[in-house]
Structure 1
Amino acid sequence: MQPPPPPVPGPLALLDAAGQFAKRKQISLWFAVSLLVASIFILTIGLAATTRTENVTVGGYYPGIILGFGSFLGIIGINLVENRRQMLVAAIVFISFGVVAAFCCAIVDGVFAARHIEPRPLNTGRCQFYSSGVGFLYDVYQTEVTCHSLTSKCQLKVKSNTCYCCDLYNCENTEHSTSYYEFVGVSGCQDVVHLYRLLWTSTVLNIIGLFLGIITAAVLGAFKDMVPLSQMAYGSAPPPQILYNPAQQILTYAGFCPSTAPLPAYSSYPLPLQEKRDENTGSLSSRNKSSEF
């Protein structure tokens, strides 16, 4: 059986601690920067999907704002020397809120894209686009178009700059239509196809931000408790300890005052008086104990 390896000497141990700190710092910085880049993509794709149409609201860009701010605080906290722990704690809190927002937005955007947008009539060219030719004043210029169903036909009132699909419009019962049959404020039906793709892209990016945010928060949480080499090797000396010695009746400062202090002269203090009964008179007389010696 081989003997255990000898312990690492002090200087090598300090070098090993410095290497571990630098490695953890590099890993934390890499994850924080990756989360910041992913947040920028989430924000950009979410804003592009939100501004594509007027009647479809997308909230996929909110996690990009929260995660981006949290990762930015994390990058600052990693490079700080003082107050590094407080800054990283704040970054972890914001990243945690961003993870929750990314989870919710990924579900909402994914369900909306899957249930409320039907891409088949759009891809086959069965949807029509109406434009009055006067800018985007769709609230002023409206028209009625005729949509045909299997058994009847009906009139559909559409606004200017609107892409509408009669295949998705139910003439018998318009309130129970699960899919969007018109998209207002677009420049063509091709914008609706782009909206469908942007919604799924935003969903995938939010899922990536969800897992990347969880890992980044864990890495920053492990890094915030590490102490750099400068504070470990050249830290301030502890304050002097105050010791109380009952035998000497003095306070001794360890490392500053000598440990052997002269004892007080007990003979200089008056000893207690001792009462003694006079054998002849029977009265009490007091005298000092020192006179007996």
Structure 2
Amino acid sequence: MPSPPAPGPLALLDTTGFARRKRTSLWSVGSLLLVSALILTIGLAATTRTENVTVGGYYPGIILGFGSFLGILGINLVENRRQMLVAAIVFISFGVVAAFCCAVVDGVFAAQHIEPRPLSTGRCQFYSSGAGYLYDVYQTEVTCYSFNGKCQLKVRSNTCYCCDLYTCESTEPSPTYYEFVGVRSCRDVVHLYRLLWVSMVLNVLGLCVGIITAAVLGAFKDLVPLSQMAYSPPPPPQVLYNPAQQILAYTGFCPSPPTVPTCSSYPLPLQDHRTMPHPALEGAPMDTGAPGTRDAAQPA
């Protein structure tokens, strides 16, 4: 069964068109790399602002950044460009999904669980342990006043708390954060609120830029310049198979048949049969005497 033909390039471009497409791809991947770096920086700044508020907006920055790095490598490669760009598109696709999820989570958390009005008007208090160290843990009870009376609230050291957001009569946990642990002042909470919205906007931007970059890389991975096709090596010799003779031969590599020596056309020299000794007389002694000598030697 003949093997299926290898998939060829979808488009052949000249040197100018290929360079223009390459430059466009580099701009797209560079923009995505810049956006992913901003997502990672803002996300880490937001998640390290407090101890009791965990933000996961920096994960898309890691995935998109790695995909952008693979894309830059794949664009500048010649041999394995298609494989590297396919891997970059896969990572960018996962990063796009993660950016969408984190944008929704950060936006909902900032809108539902943080109330900036008491923080911006100065109605929240900051409790410090008094020792001057951020990581010294102390605990105290503060008095919060409400419409029906007052109640006690346990607060750790280095905590910004808002009695306006704490309901003394309710036994269920408040949907809004009324205390933020591990901050230096209540201004850090305001910064956290702003960082969450910035992280959400950057994730939405990373979502859009990631989709555009994946589309650009998907179109670029199948482009081949004409100069590369002109200087490509020739295909290997084709193997021919003859079922009748059961012989495999390479076209152009079949050895020439050995030459058979032929008889010389010159006549052989003739020999004189009179000078050649007879085989039957080779062992007999030669008689050189006279004819009467042998009879005289014999006794009478």
Tell me the TM-score range normalised by the shorter chain.
Answer: 0.7 to 0.9
Select the residue among 9, 22, 27 that pairs with 2:24: 27
1:178 aligns to what?
A: 175
Q: How does 1:190-201 map to 2 (within 5 A)?
A: 190-201=187-198
In the alignment, does 2:106 pair up with 1:84?
no
2:273 aligns to what?
A: none
Q: How does 1:198-209 map to 2 (within 5 A)?
A: 198-209=195-206
Separation in structure 2 between the aligned mates of residue 244 and residue 223 of structure 1, nearest angstrom: 40
2:38 aligns to what?
A: 41
1:157 aligns to what?
A: 154
Shift of 1:71: 0.1
2:186 aligns to what?
A: 189
In the alignment, does 2:14 pair up with 1:17?
yes
TM-score, normalised with respect to structure 2: 0.75
Separation in structure 2 between the aligned mates of residue 255 and residue 19 of structure 1, nearest angstrom: 39
2:215 aligns to what?
A: 218
The 3 A distance-change label for structure 1 pair 20 and 255 is farther
Structure 2 contact 25–213 (Cα < 8 Å) conserved: yes
Instruction: For CA contacts below 8 A with separation 6 or more, give which structure has more relative contact order.
Output: 2
1:4 aligns to what?
A: none
Give the AA of the match of 1:181.
Answer: Y
Give the AA of the match of 2:96.
Answer: V
Give the AA of the match of 2:49.
Answer: R
Structure 2 contact 124–161 (Cα < 8 Å) conserved: yes
Separation in structure 1 between the aligned mates of residue 79 and residue 25 of structure 2, nearest angstrom: 17
1:183 aligned counterpart, secondary structure: strand
The 3 A distance-change label for structure 1 pair 243 and 186 is closer
1:11 aligns to what?
A: none
Structure 2 contact 134–184 (Cα < 8 Å) conserved: no
Separation in structure 1 between the aligned mates of residue 232 and residue 118 of structure 2, nearest angstrom: 71
Select the residue among 65, 71, 83 that pairs with 1:68: 65
Count of matched residue pairs = 243
TM-score, normalised with respect to structure 1: 0.76
1:155 aligned counterpart, secondary structure: strand
Residues 193-238 of structure 1: CA deviation (Å, up to 9, x unaligned): 0000000000000000011111111111111111133322222223
Shift of 1:243: 7.0
Give the AA of the match of 1:179.
Answer: T
Residues 152-211 of structure 1: CA deviation (Å, up to 9, x unaligned): 210001011100000000101152411000000000000000000000000000000011
2:198 aligned counterpart, secondary structure: helix
Separation in structure 2 between the aligned mates of residue 182 and residue 70 of structure 1, nearest angstrom: 38
Is the deviation greater in 17-26 or in 102-111? 17-26
1:53 aligns to what?
A: 50
2:95 aligns to what?
A: 98
Contiguous gaps of at least 5 residues in structure 1: 1-13, 258-293
Structure 1 contact 168–180 (Cα < 8 Å) conserved: yes
Q: How does 1:126-275 map to 2 (within 5 A)?
A: 126-134=123-131, 135-139=133-137, 141-240=138-237
Shift of 1:132: 1.1
Shift of 1:56: 0.3
Structure 1 contact 53–184 (Cα < 8 Å) conserved: yes
CA RMSD of aligned residues (A): 2.5
Contiguous gaps of at least 5 residues in structure 2: 1-11, 255-300
1:227 aligned counterpart, secondary structure: strand
In the alignment, does 2:108 pair up with 1:111?
yes
Residues 53-102 of structure 1: CA deviation (Å, up to 9, x unaligned): 01000000000001001001100110011111111111111111111111
Structure 1 contact 138–185 (Cα < 8 Å) conserved: no
Larger radius of gyration: 2
